Amino acid sequence: MTTQRQARDGVDVPELAVRDVTVRFAGIKALDRVSFTVAPGAIHAIIGPNGAGKSTCFNVLSGVYRATEGSVQFGDQELTGLRPHQIAGLGVARAFQNIALSAVQSVEENLMLGRHHLTKTGFLAGGLQLPQARREDRRHRARAREIAEFLDLTDKLDIPVGVLSYGDQKRVEVARALCTEPRLLLLDEPVAGMNADETRRMAVLIIEIRAALGITVVLVEHDMGLVMGIADRVTVLDFGRLIADGTPAQVQADAEVIRAYLGEAAEVPTEPGATPSGPAPAPAPSRAASPGATPLPALPPAASHPEKPS
């Protein structure tokens, strides 16, 4: 099994390995010995009914929650116990379900927030606008504009985020995550609240991000049409337990998954791609990148991360 690959910029993209992760809140187990592996460069979906533990799992991966037991490894780096900014320094970025942007600032300024941990000049040099600080600012702004062009946001760079449509704001959220130069991109319900056209655009964008950058994408999503159309592998949680892990076709036909979504009385479909309530979800856009997509230049190496706290 491949445990590491190179992104388009030559930076190594390692495997993500979740091993026996348990999270307890008082007497409640939000996750119960969950284990799965995300292959380098894959689009990997985590799904499950409401309350299954998907958001808790994402919070463990990004350092918001600390696992009570178990291990999360990104290559040879142990993520368990690291703070979110330390995990970001390892090349892990997250776009949130509830948009976490500054509504009064422009799109460009929001993207520049994603560049902050990559800056080298200090507070004093930046405040005094010394030549080194100005040069670095120009480099980071140029990179942010490249990413905005890739996400079709160039004409919105000077517009306050708060006046954009919901779909555009979600794309800005993804763009800001990309501005951190990730090797692993975590997308928390990227099409939640979107209409059909916005959902199709986001599906194509996720495919193009993987194709252009070669990075790993892990997403939590309820839209089964999108998940089954673009994911290479799907992990299914229910009541904090892992109940299935496999290809989209394998997961769709899994009896435990069908029962979790449709109840104990549900019957396993007899035809590939069918569900007890009717045909399979409508397919998401093709895995091929859209012909008019602007290629995104290679990313520089991820910033080195600070020492793990004791």
Give the model's pLDDT for residue 309.
38
Give the model's pLDDT for residue 8.
53
Give the model's pLDDT for residue 75.
94
pLDDT per residue as tens digits for the range 216-267: 999 999 999 999 999 999 999 999 999 999 999 999 999 999 998 877 655 5
Residue 284, pLDDT above cutoff 90: no
Integer Cα distance of 97 and 219 in angstroms: 10
Name the average pLDDT for the chain. Answer: 82
Integer Cα distance of 297 and 154 in angstroms: 16
Integer Cα distance of 119 and 141 in angstroms: 11
Q: What is the pTM of this model?
A: 0.80
Q: In 3D, which of 272, 251, 248 has the Cα closest to residue 261?
A: 251
Residue 137, pLDDT above cutoff 50: yes
pLDDT above 90 covers a percentage of the chain that reads 60
Could you tell me the pLDDT band of residue 146, with boundaries at 50, 70 and 90?
Answer: very high
Integer Cα distance of 119 and 97 in angstroms: 27
Range with lowest mean pLDDT among 35-44, 119-128, 220-229: 119-128
Give the model's pLDDT for residue 36.
97
Could you tell me the pLDDT band of residue 215, with boundaries at 50, 70 and 90?
Answer: very high
Give the model's pLDDT for residue 117.
72
Crossing angle of the two packed helices 196-213 and 166-178, in degrees rounded to 10: 10
Give the model's pLDDT for residue 127.
60
Integer Cα distance of 236 and 250 in angstroms: 11
Residue 283, pLDDT above cutoff 80: no
Please give the average per-residue pLDDT across 8-13, as a whole number.
67
CB contact at 8 A, 304 and 249: no
pLDDT per residue as tens digits for the range 264-277: 655 555 555 554 44
pLDDT per residue as tens digits for the range 53-109: 999 999 999 999 999 999 999 999 999 989 998 999 999 999 987 777 888 899 999
